[in-house]
A and B are shown apart, each in its own frame.
Chain A
């Protein structure tokens, strides 16, 4: 059984295996398919129309399944690898080991945002930006400049305390747990982390930065924590909602999996704590 661990607790060997598996997916071309899929959903999910991957109740199950696909791809390269998660409410500075050269590398240089160290720096030659929205072909970051502070634990707690999963109109204007976690409303958790990292992470092609997976693995863990705090509150809506994925409707792009199939993460993996 896959155990997803806090990135801060990984051994040197676990970090190396994760990085090597990611680089192999990149080399083989499989990585860029994930970037492409994410951008296609980012551009087509709209508040007034069909919405599946973002700004909708299925934001959480959609990303759970997207991460499962990616984790399974990693495991096809190295079966020992699991997705780590980044608790950005705790590891909240540029000095976190997450950003060290033996893992994801650090922030970008000030002139052009280019990441200069670590396995994903353009200079290492293993991380071309193939699926992109502009002419730049190198990984960029500007940690903590688009927004100064990552969410605090108190802010996370305030969102976990919201007892309703999602509410009408089931989009970026909704109240409820999902939209406060996603960040279009309230203290802003998930969206703010994308902005804090900057570079490609602020764009529709955000999976170009491997930290995307660690960010979303933690967002996914927060969903699991919310479920354990609110055992009587379930995914909504449960049927008949135009443009929105109901509990028992299948989700694109897979078309064979429903939110109902993804509510219990322990069918697929557990967390270290």
Chain B
């Protein structure tokens, strides 16, 4: 499967670009924010974009479509610009790759659970390694 490495490289490159952008955008907000209090911004239903515990978490419909790893019902979640692998369960609950055995109600809750779990560590672009 020769396209695996190319896809991984592209994913990693996209994540790096997104990280750089997010860092630029979020730096002033993060400085001003109370780290324990998310700052929601107006978004269409399901979307979210907030600073939670000092980190930018975003949820939005996945662009492009047709991804091999698209298992969140077409929804993607990012932590500081790096995509967090999330999955929607049949009952509507959500999990992520860093909290895989503990369903929560919404993608935003999965993103916040990931930030809690990460304790400040950077997320790596998936697939892991």
Chain A interface residues toward B at CB < 8 A: 36, 39-40, 42-44, 46-49, 55, 112-113, 130-136, 146-147, 169, 171-173, 183-184, 190-192, 194-195, 202-206
Most buried by A among B100, B119, B122: B100
B99 touching A113, Cβ below 8 Å: no
B98 cross-chain contacts in A, Cβ below 8 A: 133-134, 202-204
B69 cross-chain contacts in A, Cβ below 8 A: 43-44
B90 cross-chain contacts in A, Cβ below 8 A: 47-48, 169, 171-173
A177 to B111, CA, bound (A): 31
A173 touching B91, Cβ below 8 Å: yes
Q: How far is the CB of B48 from chain A (nearest CB, A)?
A: 21
A184 to B90, CA, bound (A): 10
A46 cross-chain contacts in B, Cβ below 8 A: 71, 87
B124 touching A113, Cβ below 8 Å: no
B118 at the A/B interface (Cβ < 8 Å)? Answer: yes
A112 cross-chain contacts in B, Cβ below 8 A: 119
B89 at the A/B interface (Cβ < 8 Å)? Answer: yes
Name the CB-closest residue of B to A205.
B128
B83-124 CB contact bits vs A (8 Å, 1 = yes)?
A: 001011111000001111111000000000000011101111
B102 touching A134, Cβ below 8 Å: no
A39 touching B128, Cβ below 8 Å: yes
What are 10 A-B pairs at a CB distance below 8 A?
A40-B127, A43-B87, A43-B97, A46-B87, A47-B90, A113-B119, A133-B128, A134-B121, A135-B123, A184-B89
Select A131's contact among B117, B122, B128, beta carbons within 8 Å.
B128
Given contacts A112-B119, A134-B121, contact A203 B129 (CB under 8 A): no
A134 to B90, CA, bound (A): 27
Select B100's contact among A36, A49, A134, A206, beta carbons within 8 Å.
A206
- Range of interface residues on chain B? 20 to 34
Closest 3 pairs between A and B when the two form their complex, measured CB to CB: A173-B90, A194-B101, A191-B101
A116 to B68, CA, bound (A): 38
Interface of B is mostly: loop
A204 touching B124, Cβ below 8 Å: no
B129 cross-chain contacts in A, Cβ below 8 A: 36, 130-132
B97 cross-chain contacts in A, Cβ below 8 A: 39, 42-43, 133, 203-204
A131 to B97, CA, bound (A): 13
A205 to B89, CA, bound (A): 19
Name the CB-closest residue of A to B102.
A195
List CB contacts (< 8 Å) of B3-22 with chain A.
none
A39 to B85, CA, bound (A): 11
B41-83 CB contact bits vs A (8 Å, 1 = yes)?
A: 0000000000000000000000000001101000000000000
Most buried by B among A132, A147, A203: A203
A146 to B99, CA, bound (A): 10
A43 cross-chain contacts in B, Cβ below 8 A: 69, 71, 85, 87, 97, 126-127
A134 to B68, CA, bound (A): 21
B89 touching A203, Cβ below 8 Å: no
B88 cross-chain contacts in A, Cβ below 8 A: 47
B102 cross-chain contacts in A, Cβ below 8 A: 146-147, 191, 195, 202
Most buried by B among A39, A43, A132, A192: A43
B117 cross-chain contacts in A, Cβ below 8 A: 202-203
Q: How far is the CB of B3 from chain A (nearest CB, A)?
A: 16
